[in-house]
Amino acid sequence: MAKLDLTKYGITGTTEIVHNPSYEMLFEEETKADLTGYEKGQVSELGAVNVMTGVYTGRSPKDKYLVVDENSKNTVWWTSDEYKNDNHPMTEATWATVKDIAKKELCNKRLFVVDAFCGANKDTRMAIRFIVEVAWQAHFVTNMFIKPSAEELENFEPDFVVYNASKAKVENYKELGLNSETCVAFNITSREQVIINTWYGGEMKKGMFSMMNYYLPLKGIASMHCSANTDLNGENTAIFFGLSGTGKTTLSTDPKRLLIGDDEHGWDDNGVFNFEGGCYAKVINLDKESEPDIYNAIKRNALLENVTLDAEGHIDFADKSVTENTRVSYPIDHIKNIVRPISSAPAAKNVIFLSADAFGVLPPVSILTPEQTQYYFLSGFTAKLAGTERGITEPTPTFSACFGQAFLELHPTKYAEELVKKMQKSGAKAYLVNTGWNGTGKRISIKDTRGIIDAILSGAINEAPTKKIPHFDFEVPTSLPGVDPAILDVGSPGT
């Protein structure tokens, strides 16, 4: 591999470049005794290192910006008084200023550089270079993105560069018209991201997802905030849409099926493919019995975030004193049942919308018509669950377009258009599954939801007796194999 020169990125005086470090080296670097503050990792009893991310334990949507230029001004779905979203405009001059702040922070330092791919499809994947000064941040992106082969690294040319300057601050933010000293900014034309004053690892992951959500639909490829799995023959693909905490990771990580990925996928003419090389699972109240695959993935090379450990490294998964948004990132091969060697599968046959209904009004499962599919995809009714964004401490009912509004860079109708095209071509059916609260005020259990999902994937739901419920005009099954009929008894919701 040719020696890396960072001066072409405006980063000078680098004392050492740790380029594509191994897991062994990352472990040594992030657990060094002389590290302080948020750089320091602690080894847990399960072998995974735990790190803390400070004030920012979730994404900071109010600090997300995109540069307005000739390419973006008429394509990006900008926030407006009429319809608020997270795509705040930034001038090219302000971009130059914040990028300069990031570059200055990264100059004259020992840096970690990780080269990786986003997207399992070689024709449309994005080659990304992450430049960071913190070892565990390099570990995070090594876990979360697709690792190039030795041959691919030889000739690696990034088409997107991420500058993570989490230690810097935008001190003159008021003068620049920004929200705070924190800034997560994107330039679609120069293909760069700048991160300032937030240590939260998810800003790098979701940043690249946002960019795939911009570039791919413009090429006629559906870009989706969903998990995906397939049967053991690799033929019966299912995708699960839902916001953070609604069950995407839990329900797609199924010992009876092969995982394609847990959060971000594309759907092109060849089928469904993962954007990532790892998983980023919530671990609040993680239980070994109900989620064995995720629990067993927490071992050496996994990276815990904001989890409570005692001095001996014992984990308290129930402790939410730091945040409800406790996480673990791990390489996808920590899960036994995955699609190999490439995280892709044929076109989906079942499309499942996961909604954590905070009101207990939605039935546990509804069979959707094509018209209802479009409506519920575009409206994306769910509840924001505690911790995934700053300031969310209780389940809050919300409408999140395409079950991922925070990451949509184009207008929601573009994503709906591409999804509908793919579903029509494959003959896929859609279902709305409530993973939230039922009419009795209790959250529907993972066990019951898994039973419902099993009935969808086996096709049993299509043979089940159904009734139509008022107000929603939903077709709902009245009995399903292996599911307590009392769970399915929705009475008369909305009355």
170 lies in the same domain as 247: no
Asked which of 180, 197, 215 is the last residue of a domain, the reply is 215
Catalytic residue from among 40, 205, 225, 422? 225
Selection from 298, 279, 339 nearest residue 140 by Cα: 279
88 lies in the same domain as 144: yes
Residue 492 pLDDT: 46
DSSP letters spanning 228-284: EEE-TTS-SEEEEE--TTSSHHHHH--TTSEEEESSEEEEETTEEEES-SEEEEE-T
Residue 386 pLDDT: 64
Longest dimension (CA), the chain: 70
Catalytic residue from among 103, 125, 206, 257? 206
123 lies in the same domain as 144: yes
Residue 110 pLDDT: 98
Of 103-112, 284-293, 295-304, the one with minimum mean pLDDT is 284-293
Active-site annotation holds for 263: yes
Catalytic residue from among 14, 44, 53, 59? 59
Active-site annotation holds for 225: yes
The answer to whether residue 320 sits within a structural domain is no
% pLDDT > 90, the chain: 87
272 lies in the same domain as 419: yes
Active-site annotation holds for 230: no
Region 266-289: mean pLDDT is: 97
Region 322-342: mean pLDDT is: 96
pLDDT digits (tens, 9 = 90+) for 366-425: 999 999 999 999 999 987 766 666 776 777 788 999 999 999 999 999 999 999 999 999
359 confidence band (pLDDT: 50, 70, 90): confident
CA angle 387-80-176, nearest 5°? Answer: 80
Active-site annotation holds for 249: yes
Residue 302 pLDDT: 99
Of 111-120, 212-221, 228-237, 434-443, the one with minimum mean pLDDT is 434-443
Catalytic residue from among 205, 327, 334, 414? 327
200 lies in the same domain as 344: no
Catalytic residue from among 166, 230, 244, 246? 244
Catalytic residue from among 64, 205, 248, 429? 248
Q: Which residue has the tokens 């109240």?
A: 285
Helix (H) or strand (E) holding 64: strand 64-67
The answer to whether residue 45 sits within a structural domain is no
262 lies in the same domain as 209: no
Active-site annotation holds for 248: yes
Residue 491 pLDDT: 63
Selection from 307, 309, 283 nearest residue 297 by Cα: 283
The answer to whether residue 409 sits within a structural domain is yes
Q: Where are the alpha helices (DSSP H) in 311-390?
A: 370-379
Quote the number of domains for the chain. 2
181 lies in the same domain as 247: no
Active-site annotation holds for 244: yes
Catalytic residue from among 60, 72, 198, 249? 249
pLDDT digits (tens, 9 = 90+) for 12-23: 999 999 999 999
454 lies in the same domain as 376: yes
% pLDDT > 70, the chain: 97
Q: Range of 167's domain?
A: 6-36+59-215
Asked which of 198, 215, 232 is the last residue of a domain, the reply is 215
Contact 350, 238 (CB under 8 A): yes
Contact 494, 471 (CB under 8 A): yes
The dihedral formed by the CA atoms of 338, 342, 346 and 350, expressed in degrees to the nearest 10 = 40
82 or 1, greater pLDDT: 82
Residue 442 has pLDDT above 90, yes or no: no
Of 59-68, 156-165, 171-180, 244-253, the one with minimum mean pLDDT is 244-253
141 lies in the same domain as 26: yes
CATH number for 91? 3.40.449.10
The answer to whether residue 271 sits within a structural domain is yes
402 lies in the same domain as 255: yes
